[in-house]
Amino acid sequence: MSKTALLFAGQGAQAVGMGKDLAEAFPLARQLFDRANATLGYDLAAICHDGPEPELTRTENAQPGIYLVSWIALALLRERVPSLSFDATAGLSLGEFTALAAAGALSFEEGLRVVRLRGRFMQEACEATRGGMAAIIGLDEAPTREICEATGATLANLNCPGQIVISGDTDAIARAVEAAKAKGARKAIPLSVAGAYHSPLMASAQPKLAAELARVALAAPSVPVIANVTALPHGNPADTARLLVEQVTSSVRWEASMRYLLAQGFTRFIELGPGSALSGFLRRIDKSVPVLNVSDVPTLEATVKALTD
């Protein structure tokens, strides 16, 4: 019997116009955009649909926007395929909150509210520090880790073979980029981001996030939800809160998370939310595994067809 995992997008997947065609085509999507606006007290839908891009890219808007569009993608897939069932969830960085909500560990509204505040806390940490990130393409984890240890950078995202993102102080990132090129990286590219996500420079966001999570009624998830920090399923709600706080400054172990699911016999993956980066990562990890995604009307229709044929 096949086992299905749902995957949820992380920051960087945002794009002006995300969710707009879904809202135009489906009343349920419009209802969820309206619910989100009412929950947050501002027009997040308009920022997702029409930008402007600098406003959408702000961490405090990008994170709840991606969470919302990912949730809408799941809701529409469930509406179109009532028999849809899944056996685990996982999400990249902020997507871990969407994965937990999909598994019933917290409500849609609670997740949206916390993700919005998480984005604000991380934006504040970015503005208080001089940080950046860079993508290292074509080097494995071991040499990239050596570069980080030598330069003061941090491993931020271990996405898939040959694609790692590093984070840290601006000067450390500049040193690491040069060292990676010298070590034979195919590419070492500074990223256009607000700060040093998943590094110690985000530490000021952690106590604020912990305080907000203490106000959330976390429950045990209905299916395993893979934690970014451990690449293993979440345990009890107290552990979940701790891991979500720890995740802010820790490496996102995405490749290890996917390999864990593959080792558990998962044979179908559905990416939900803007973009298709996670599908690309998974194909780099194991190109034999079928990956579906829902980000707009055409991909929704294609995924519905694949699941119902």
- Domain range list for the chain: 4-127+204-308, 131-190
d(Cα 167, Cα 164) in Å, to the nearest integer?
10
Give how far Cα 184 sits from Cα of 191, 226, 290, Å: 19, 32, 32
Residues in the chain, pLDDT under 50: none
pLDDT recorded at residue 192: 82
CATH domain 131-190 topology: Alpha-Beta Plaits (3.30.70)
| 4-127+204-308 CATH | 3.40.366.10
Catalytic residue among 93, 199, 257, 295: 93
Catalytic residue among 49, 70, 167, 198: 198
Same fold, 4-127+204-308 and 131-190: no
Residue type, position 122, single letter: M
User: Is residue 198 annotated as part of the catalytic site, yes or no?
Assistant: yes
- Per DSSP bridges, beta strands 131-137 and 268-272 are unpaired
Measured over all CA atoms, what is the biggest interatomic distance in the chain, rounded to whole angstroms?
Answer: 54
Instruction: Confirm if 268 and 3 have CB atoms less than 8 A apart.
Output: yes
End-to-end CA distance of the chain: 17
Q: Which pTM does this prediction carry?
A: 0.96
Beta-carbon contacts of residue 272 (< 8 Å; ≥ 6 apart): 6, 7, 8, 9, 70, 73, 74, 77, 98, 293, 294, 295
Residue 266, SS3? coil
d(Cα 232, Cα 260) in Å, to the nearest integer?
7
Residue type, position 169, single letter: D
